[in-house]
Structure 1
């Protein structure tokens, strides 16, 4: 049904966050590009064939966006792992994945076209759908859904050397989140346990050994 597409590590300032991740894993993330109208920009680091890490922060070269930046970025005082995206597996579509999550009671917004310009001038296009409640709480355990279509997957063209080993989450209602993950085929990819707050953790294999992002 779905597979992990990328992890979102959000920060108040992109350059120091990118440097901190590079020091932790021993690989430097490459510039991705700005997200026009959203007020953010990113750097990217491959974590395998079809999974990558996105480091995202406000873009000082854009005006203040009309709406709050996603992932609770405007309220962050330090970098943290805040969300993750899934993509449809072969034979499935973004609508299939959204339908499965809606069947679990999750309310999703419409699929929207997105784009950004890479540093070398290539225009990338993809489709994206967010939970209707948005991704502003800083630890979104309901994944958003992305479909790349004909665009080259970022994991194949960004710095390599790290792989995603495991992901885990805590939530006040772990049974609900666990059932959601099972419904889209993530039951063995993300373990869920009870916790007072929602949180994400990822273990990476890197040139510096196994490291953890929280």
Structure 2
């Protein structure tokens, strides 16, 4: 039904967030680009053939966006792993994935078109659902004809596993089962997410 597309590390400042991840994993994420109208920009680091890490933060070169920036960035005091994205499996569509989420009681919201300019000037396009905030309910993305970022960003790190805690783990695990996601969720008082990575610095936990 769905596959893991990327994990999202949000930070109040992009340079500081990128440096914090670099200190942990021993590699520096490459500039991605701004998200026009959203008020954010990112850096990217491959975690395998079809999965990557996005570090995202406010973009001070953009005007204040009409809507709050995604992933709870506005109120963050420090960087954290906040959520993840999934894409449809072969033979499935983004609409199939969103329908499965609705059947599990989660509304992923409408599918919206987005674009950004890469540092080399190339404009890339994709579609994604916009309602997911920070947490264990993923948002859904479709890269269309755009080359997947995992194949064109710095390599050397690998995602080993993704896990989380949630006050209602049965609901989240049922959602993941419906989406065919291999993400372990246990009971916890707070919602949390952590990724185990193989890196030049050895095996580390990003949370």
Using the size of structure 1 for normalisation, the TM-score is: 0.95
> In structure 2, what is the equivalent of residue 210 of structure 1?
203
> In structure 2, what is the equivalent of residue 146 of structure 1?
141
Alpha-carbon deviation of 1:19? Answer: 1.1
Structure 1: runs of 5+ lacking an equivalent: none
> In structure 2, what is the equivalent of residue 196 of structure 1?
189
For residues 165-203 of structure 1, what are the alpha-carbon distances to aligned partners after superposition, in whole Å with 9 as ceiling and x for unaligned? 0011100000000000000001xx210100001110100
From 152, 157, 163, the equivalent of 1:157 is 152
**In 1: Cα distance, 2:93 partner to 2:163 partner:** 25
> In structure 1, what is the equivalent of residue 176 of structure 2?
181
> In structure 1, what is the equivalent of residue 2 of structure 2?
2
Tell me which stretches of 4 or more aligned residues in structure 1 moved more than 6 Å.
none
Alpha-carbon deviation of 1:108? Answer: 2.3
Aligned residues: 207
**In 2: Cα distance, 1:174 partner to 1:16 partner:** 32
- Taking the TM superposition and a 5 Å limit, the aligned residue runs for 1:1-214 are 1-131=1-131, 134-135=132-133, 139-186=134-181, 189-214=182-207
Structure 2: runs of 5+ lacking an equivalent: none
SS in 2 for 1:151: coil
Using the size of structure 2 for normalisation, the TM-score is: 0.98
Alpha-carbon deviation of 1:20? Answer: 1.3
Alpha-carbon deviation of 1:23? Answer: 1.5
